[in-house]
A = this chain, B = another copy of it.
Amino acid sequence: MQRQTLQRVAIEAAFKDAKRPLAPVEVLEAARADVPTLNLATVYRTLKRMIQDHFIHPVELPGESARYELQAAANQHHHHFRCRKCDLVYDLEGCVDGLQSLLPEGFRMTGHDIVIYGDCTACNT
């Protein structure tokens, strides 16, 4: 059976606190606040496990390696904002209309991704 280890608890906490998609290294840094000896290999093993358990969900942005966010967040349709100054990624609520109309004749849409780039509040100030 699965064990409740300090590192797993720390990683779960990192996601719950962040409220935004985290890269593996970001998870490592955040969780090391609780468990300083935490290792990146452990982060990866735990991420894989949490994906299987549907606790987290991968978030892919163009040209970057995967980040992960709580499955709870992924359950409601949303998109992402990527700050060009601090490189953090935020969730955006809602969606837009009119995507369907971009399709040429004969193409069928089954999904879509939207990423907005710019400066976040923190960097804007």
Chain A residues within 8 Å of B, Cβ to Cβ: 60-63, 66, 79, 81, 84, 90, 92-99, 101-121, 124-125
Query: Is A118 a contact of B124 with CB atoms below 8 Å?
Result: no
Contact for A105 among B66, B106, B121, CB less than 8 A? B121
Query: Is B94 a contact of A102 with CB atoms below 8 Å?
Result: yes
The 6 closest A-B pairs by CB, nearest first: A106-B121, A60-B62, A60-B63, A111-B117, A110-B118, A109-B118
Contact for A113 among B62, B98, B111, B125, CB less than 8 A? B62
Query: Is A81 a contact of B107 with CB atoms below 8 Å?
Result: yes
Contact for A114 among B105, B114, B125, CB less than 8 A? B114
